[in-house]
Structure 1
Amino acid sequence: MAPSLRGHGIGGRLYERAALHARNEGVEVLQIQALAENAAMLAIARKRGATVHRHGSESEAYLKLPRADLESRLRELAGEYWAGLHYSLVAQSRIWVEMLKGFQSVRSRAIAAAKICSP
């Protein structure tokens, strides 16, 4: 992950999202393999209850997942809905920004042309 994006909780949220999805798909144990030097990933796993075992230069983390229930399924569904809504809003805002840039460019050229043509 880019250094500027570290420390904002993105990795933890991705871990939680993966665990929730795995739980709802019937996975009983979430297993993560990471380099032992990847302290950030191992801290994320430990913070969320995973047991970490080190094997030389690699580590494995195991998290026993509870069975899926109505709440976990609704949380995943709501997360998907909000993610889709967020994506759509960001995409629409980019379109509007580009359109406004185009209008500004046309406006600037019109003003420059008017200055040239005025007596």
Structure 2
Amino acid sequence: MKQAYREFRKLIHPQAVSPIRLGDKVISEGVMRNITGFFFLYIFIFVISSFIMTILGLDIVSAMGSVAATLGNVGPGLGLVGPVQTYAFIPPLGKIVLTICMLLGRLEIYTVLVLVVPEFWRK
């Protein structure tokens, strides 16, 4: 929230220096960029996965609920994948998408990227 507030203030005062503090420590720009990048990557994966699940025939609540349950490891989903339902009705491609979301959620997004992106292997 502090980062969003700071960005809005920079729109009004572009030259202003407004560090973000956590307690009495100043959080560096690099750390804030990394956090913001991770946040938007997570949201991007959530939106794309939900869109794919919707294309495969799930209603929007079930699509977002199933992706949230697998990507965020939050337990039962919403809608057709709620606490008293199963994932059995989801098409095979949808199960693959949800499996990838589960791996991204359990192993963390950056860990999976390191495993599948060859540029990380060469360093």
Normalising by structure 2, report the TM-score: 0.28
User: Higher RCO, 1 or 2 (CA under 8 Å, sep at least 6)?
Assistant: 1
Normalising by structure 1, report the TM-score: 0.29
